[in-house]
Amino acid sequence: MAVQQKEINDAYRLYGDISWFYNFLNGMPRLRKKSVRKIGLAPGDTVLDIGCGTGLNFPHIMEKIGASGKIVGIDCCKEMLFNAKKLALKKKWKNVKLVLGDATLAGFPKGTFDGAIATISLSAIPDHLKALAHAVHSLKRGKNIVITDGKKFSFKPFNLFLPLLRWNKSWDKEKDIIKDVLREYPTKAVEIKESFLGSQFCMVLTK
């Protein structure tokens, strides 16, 4: 059965309270750096981080956009967002705006962002296509959204170990995000790369 938003919220409330543990499990600096590079950002750009969580992407984004750019991070879990705020304060970033809200209802104006990223968040958002549609709407034409997420291993027996890699209640492993996105945006996906025996993917969509 699909994981419901309430279960997801409960899981991330807990993760937000033990953020050191969440950050330890999900640091993945190389993967994040690579994903951020694929957005194609320049100094001064405004970037949307969908389901930004504790802000683990922020240092990599900041490296690209500098102090003249802006990060807008949206997340519906105040405990996760609290940690993103702590990070921004610690780093003295004045150009991070955190929005406590549901990414499937986000009302950012059309053409606001120079780039967007969703790392391991679409698999945690039950209506992932609605969240993506909002992000696409708010992106400038010709700009990129990078989706980096987890999925089932290509070699099925390995899927028995998935609960050890990611807590069942914190995502929907039955979702086929690649397939859904390709169906919804058949001409926009410009790159899809799988890694870690097919259990991770990175997808770039250009508006």
Ligand X SMILES: C[S@@+](CC[C@H](N)C(=O)[O-])C[C@H]1O[C@@H](n2cnc3c(N)ncnc32)[C@H](O)[C@@H]1O
Binding site for ligand X (CB under 6 A): 8, 12, 26, 51-53, 56-57, 74-77, 80, 102-104, 119-121, 124-125
Q: How far is the CB of 52 from ligand X (least distance, A)?
A: 5
Q: How far is the CB of 97 from ligand X (least distance, A)?
A: 15
Q: Which residue's CB is nearer to ligand X, number 107 or number 157?
A: 107
Q: Which residue's CB is nearer to ligand X, number 77 or number 205?
A: 77
Q: Which residue's CB is nearer to ligand X, number 51 or number 69?
A: 51
DSSP string, 25-74: HH--HHHHHHHHHHH---TT-EEEEET-TT-TTHHHHHHHH-TTSEEEEE
What distance in Å separates the CA atoms of residue 98 and residue 162, rounded to the nearest whole number?
31
Q: How far is the CB of 19 from ligand X (least distance, A)?
A: 10
Q: Which two tokens stand for residue 97?
A: 């705006």
What distance in Å separates the CA atoms of residue 95 and residue 31, rounded to the nearest whole number?
24
Q: What are phi and psi of 116, to 5 degrees?
A: -145, 155
Q: Which residue's CB is nearer to ligand X, number 86 or number 155?
A: 86
